[in-house]
């Protein structure tokens, strides 16, 4: 029997990359999935974002594991759309026990001339306010159900260090938002502990997903050797796999992590300790 | 289904009882063979709870054998670096390799800072800090020689992240092991050897289930009990539980020791019901 049999997990940014990997990993352990993704381009993002076809592929792969999935296109900045998507998933699947606030963007490689503030603001809107919206879309139901639960917020090594900072809206916004996520995690951990709902953050180093494995980021790193060095891992591995982050999350949300709350868990090949 | 640490060998200190035994068993359930050591004797400055015995260590060994895993036990003090090295060497000679280290052995005592004797301070630092280094020192050559990487998990405490009154020697040692962990993580990363610490809140063992510790939580009660102290313990955690169980620490260590955590190193992982965030 899976470790998450009978649980329902909300995953944002589930169309591809880490979000898809998390949905599949949790489904392998028996969870049903409420999947949300924007499936559209954001104009301060230089790499191609996900599509409806990506989200459909996540649905097909979860169903192949014999788990149920309810998928909606919604922007985590759009509270109303997000609340409606979650409410529909909750109604269809019988509640929600796990929340993975994973949706996010990076703006590396975007031309910023005169546009810095918009780049910065959009990063805060999606990577920070979007996380706040996500948790608030699900937490009231979790409290009311009275069956406890677990929430994991995807931050980054940029939520624990400012290494690589260069004064751009892209770096400032990403780093500030990912640090802000730690604040949300800590305050949510207090708020929800009496309800036996645990809240933790994970802090991946570079992950092999389309967010960083794309020509825009690759040429940015090639042109800025200093930043590349600053962003090197301690362990001899250039990037980790989405599955590595999923495994950490699967442990955190399972009963094996039943007394782990309020923690910042790096999955970072030693990036932060370096 | 193959276990999460199938075919690996784990070295566990303080394995005679409670958390150390639980770690050994949990790892054995997932396929590891075990090198188990414990002092099995009293330590002079530790008066508030009884010591582990040789029977306890033998019982750990029996429970591992019942899981069809192999175990090599040695009665040795983690302060005795030569004895500890010999125990690990003998274990590796018999079991063929070394992959996982749980530096778990430790002692606890409550003492107002200004009443602490030199010898009590030294004994605590010798066991809880130097003993952890001795453990890593004895194991690292085998991990390096194996060429397959490895995972070291050091048992610190919430007292390794936060200060608490009346435990200055314990708190200093438990903070100190974080320094050992961070250094090893850096120095041995190129060998794919990972090193992390776990930081439990109160764990349901004799180390806290004794009258003196209950009294620390309930200073105004002349006759504190487990029941009367439980709500005070609970008030220090964020989650509504007074303490956690050894298995909760074992499950964290198993995760860190397994390939599921193959890129987790240099991390201080609280298993503390929200104690440090509260
Ligand atoms: N890839 C890395 O190196 C790395 C490192 C550390 C942290 N992260 C974080 O991990 C998370 C997942 O990223 P990934 O690596 O899988 O990248 P990805 O681009 O493959 O996946 C992110 C997903 O989030 C979706 N998304 C973006 N904005 C959204 C919005 N406003 N509303 C709903 N969905 C939205 C995207 O469409 C995409 O499907 C992000 O929060 C990212 O910041 C990534
Ligand atoms: N119980 C708690 O509340 C708690 C909380 C946080 C951390 N810890 C830590 O967890 C670890 C395990 O403690 P436990 O709760 O299982 O207590 P325990 O006393 O039952 O176990 C500790 C074991 O270590 C052994 N040991 C002590 N000194 C030794 C030495 N010099 N050489 C070899 N072995 C020695 C003891 O004989 C005993 O078997 C300790 O490091 C402790 O500091 C405990």
- Our CA-based measurement puts residue B146 at a distance from the nearest CA of chain A, in whole angstroms, of 17
Cβ(A70)–Cβ(A90) under 8 Å? no
Residue A225: its pLDDT value, please?
76
Contact partners, residue B65, CB within 8 Å, separation at least 6 = B71
| A260 contacts on B by Cβ (under 8 Å) | 252, 269-272
Which has the closest alpha carbon to A15: A31, A32, A35, A29? A35
**Closest residue CA from atom 40 of ligand 1:** A104
CATH architecture assignment, domain B9-207+247-269: 3-Layer(aba) Sandwich (3.40)
Which tokens sit at B188? 């041995």
Give the total residue count for chain A. Answer: 274
- Tens digit of each residue's pLDDT (9 = 90 or more) over B27-54: 999 999 999 999 999 999 999 999 999 9
For residue B59, the Cα-to-chain-centroid distance in whole angstroms is: 18
Angle at which helices B18-29 and B246-257 cross, to 10°: 50
Cβ(A260)–Cβ(B275) under 8 Å? no
B226 burial via Cβ count (<10 Å: 0-12, 13-18, 19+): middle
Question: Helix and strand tally (H, E) in chain B?
Answer: 9, 7
| Mean pLDDT along residues B84-93 | 98
Angle at which helices B168-187 and B131-146 cross, to 10°: 20
Secondary structure (DSSP) of chain A: --TTTT-EEEEESTTSHHHHHHHHHHHHTT-EEEEEE--S--TT--S----HHHHHHHHHHHHHTT--EEEEE--TT-HHHHHHHHHHHHHHHT---EEEE------TT---TTTHHHHHHHHIIIIIIHHHHHHHHHHHHHHHHTS-EEEEEE--GGGT--TT--S-HHHHHHHHHHHHHHHHHHHHHHHHGGGTEEEEEEEE-SBSSTTTSSHHHHHHHHH-HHHHHHT--SSS-SSB-HHHHHHHHHHHHSGGGTT--S-EEEESTTTTT-
| Mean pLDDT along residues B78-89 | 98
- Tens digit of each residue's pLDDT (9 = 90 or more) over B174-197: 999 999 999 999 999 999 999 999
Which tokens sit at A10? 């909300």
| Mean pLDDT along residues B190-218 | 96
Cβ(A231)–Cβ(A108) under 8 Å? no
Distance B170 CA to ligand 2 centre (A): 12
Cβ(A34)–Cβ(A96) under 8 Å? yes
Collect all residues from A whose CB is shorter than 8 A from any CB in B. 186, 189-190, 193-194, 196, 198, 205, 234-237, 240, 244, 247-248, 250-251, 256-263, 265-270, 272-274
- Tens digit of each residue's pLDDT (9 = 90 or more) over B160-176: 999 989 999 999 999 99
Q: Determine the Cα angle at A185 with ends A17 and A240, to 5°.
A: 30
Residue B2: its pLDDT value, please?
84
Question: What ipTM score was computed for the predicted complex, to two decimals?
Answer: 0.94
Q: Which letter, b or e, does each residue of B85-101 get, where b requires 16 or more Cβ atoms within 10 Å of its Cβ?
A: bebbeebbeebeebbbb
Contact partners, residue A106, CB within 8 Å, separation at least 6 = A45, A47, A170, A174, A211, A212, A217
Residue B75: its pLDDT value, please?
98
Residue A119: its pLDDT value, please?
98
Active site residue A259: no
Q: How confident is the model at residue B78 (pLDDT cuts 50, 70, 90)?
A: very high
Residue A204 sits at φ, ψ, to 5 deg, of: -75, 145
- Tens digit of each residue's pLDDT (9 = 90 or more) over B213-259: 999 999 999 999 999 999 999 999 999 999 999 999 999 999 999 99
CB B137 less than 6 A from any atom of ligand 2? no
Which residue in chain A is spatially nearest to B276 when comparing CA positions?
A262
CA distance A54 to A231: 29
pTM recorded for the entire structure? 0.96
CA distance B82 to A16: 53
B201 touching A, CB under 8 A?
Answer: yes
CB A109 less than 6 A from any atom of ligand 1? no
Indicate yes or no: CB of A186 within 8 angstroms of CB of B252: no
CB A103 less than 6 A from any atom of ligand 1? yes
Indicate yes or no: CB of A256 within 8 angstroms of CB of B185: no
Q: Which letter, b or e, does each residue of A51-77 get, where b requires 16 or more Cβ atoms within 10 Å of its Cβ?
A: eeebbeebbeebeebebbbbbbbbbbb
Looking at residue B103, the DSSP 8-state letter turns out to be: E
**CA–CA distances in Å: residue B92 to residues A15, A269, B36, B88:** 47, 27, 11, 6
Query: Could you count the other beta carbons within 10 Å of the beta carbon of residue B258?
Result: 21
A146 burial via Cβ count (<10 Å: 0-12, 13-18, 19+): exposed
Distance A210 CA to ligand 1 centre (A): 9
Residue B1 has pLDDT above 80, yes or no: no
Q: Which letter, b or e, does each residue of B122-151 get, where b requires 16 or more Cβ atoms within 10 Å of its Cβ?
A: ebbbbbbbbbbbbbbebbbebbeebeebbb
Looking at residue B196, the DSSP 8-state letter turns out to be: E
Indicate yes or no: CB of B260 within 8 angstroms of CB of A251: yes
Residue in A256, A262, A266 nearest the CB of B255: A256
Ligand with an atom nearest the CA of residue B243:
2
Residue A194: its pLDDT value, please?
98
Indicate yes or no: CB of A196 within 8 angstroms of CB of B186: no
Which has the closest alpha carbon to A240: A195, A192, A208, A203? A208
Give the total residue count for chain B. Answer: 278
| A251 contacts on B by Cβ (under 8 Å) | 255, 260
What is the residue extent of each domain of chain B? 9-207+247-269, 209-242
Query: Could you count the other beta carbons within 10 Å of the beta carbon of residue B256?
Result: 24
Q: Which domains does chain A carry?
A: 8-267 (3.40.50.720)
Averages of pLDDT over runs of 10 residues in chain A (274 residues) are: 94 98 98 98 97 98 98 98 98 98 96 94 98 98 98 98 94 98 98 98 97 91 79 92 98 98 98 95
Q: Determine the Cα angle at B149 with ends B268 and B125, to 5°.
A: 45
Ligand with an atom nearest the CA of residue A131:
1
Residue A224: its pLDDT value, please?
79
Distance B104 CA to ligand 2 centre (A): 6
Residue A240: its pLDDT value, please?
97
Best residue among A14, A18, A130 to mutate for probing ligand 1's pocket (most ligand atoms within 8 Å of CB) is A18
């Amino acid at each position: 029997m899976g470790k998450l049999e009978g649980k329902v997990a909300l995953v944002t940014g589930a169309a591809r990359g880490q979000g898809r990997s998390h949905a599949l990993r949790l489904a392998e352990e028996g969870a049903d999935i409420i999947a949300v993704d924007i499936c559209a381009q954001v104009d301060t993002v230089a790499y191609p974002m996900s599509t409806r076809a990506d989200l459909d592929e996540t649905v097909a792969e979860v169903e192949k594991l014999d788990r149920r999935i309810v998928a909606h296109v919604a922007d985590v900045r759009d509270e109303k759309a997000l609340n409606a998507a979650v409410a529909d998933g909750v109604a269809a699947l019988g509640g929600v026990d796990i929340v993975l606030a994973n949706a996010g963007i990076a703006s590396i490689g975007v031309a910023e001339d005169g546009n810095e503030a918009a780049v910065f603001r959009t990063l805060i809107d999606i990577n920070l306010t979007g996380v706040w919206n996500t948790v608030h879309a699900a937490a009231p139901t979790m409290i009311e159900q009275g069956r406890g639960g677990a929430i994991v917020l995807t931050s980054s090594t940029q939520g624990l260090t400012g290494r690589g900072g260069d004064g751009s809206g892209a770096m400032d916004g990403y780093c500030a938002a990912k640090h802000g996520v730690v604040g949300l995690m800590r305050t949510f951990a207090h708020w929800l502990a009496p309800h036996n709902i645990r809240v933790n953050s994970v802090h991946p180093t570079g992950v092999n997903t389309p967010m960083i494995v794309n020509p825009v980021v690759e040429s940015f790193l090639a042109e800025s050797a200093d930043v590349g060095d600053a962003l090197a891992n301690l362990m001899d591995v250039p990037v980790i796999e989405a599955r590595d982050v999923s495994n950490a999350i699967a442990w955190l949300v399972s009963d094996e992590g039943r007394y782990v709350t309020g923690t910042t868990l790096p999955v970072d090949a030693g990036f932060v300790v370096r | 289904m193959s276990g999460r640490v199938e075919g690996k060998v784990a070295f566990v200190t303080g394995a005679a009882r409670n958390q150390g035994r639980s770690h050994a068993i949990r790892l054995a359930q997932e396929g590891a063979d075990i090198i188990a050591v414990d002092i099995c004797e009293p330590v002079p400055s530790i008066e508030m709870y009884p010591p582990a015995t040789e029977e306890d260590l033998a019982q750990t060994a029996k429970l591992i054998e019942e899981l069809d895993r192999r175990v090599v036990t040695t009665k040795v003090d983690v302060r005795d670096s030569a004895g500890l090295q010999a125990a690990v060497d003998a274990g590796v000679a018999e079991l063929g390799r070394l992959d996982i280290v749980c530096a778990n052995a430790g002692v606890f005592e409550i003492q107002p800072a200004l009443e602490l004797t030199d010898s009590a301070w030294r004994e605590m630092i010798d066991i809880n800090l130097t003993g952890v280094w001795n453990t890593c020192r004895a194991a690292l050559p085998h991990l390096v020689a194996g060429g397959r990487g490895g995972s070291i998990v050091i048992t610190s405490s919430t007292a390794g992240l936060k200060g608490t009154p009346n435990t200055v020697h314990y708190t200093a040692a438990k903070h100190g092991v974080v320094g050992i962990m961070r250094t090893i993580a850096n120095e041995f990363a190129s060998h794919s050897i990972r090193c992390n610490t776990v930081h439990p809140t109160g764990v349901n063992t004799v180390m806290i289930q004794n009258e003196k510790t209950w009294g620390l939580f309930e200073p105004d009660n002349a006759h504190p009990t487990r029941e009367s102290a439980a709500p005070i313990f609970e008030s220090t955690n964020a989650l509504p539980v007074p303490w956690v169980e050894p298995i909760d620490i074992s499950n964290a260590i198993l995760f860190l020791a397994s390939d599921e955590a193959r890129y987790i190193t240099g991390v201080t992982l609280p298993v503390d019901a929200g104690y440090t965030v509260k």
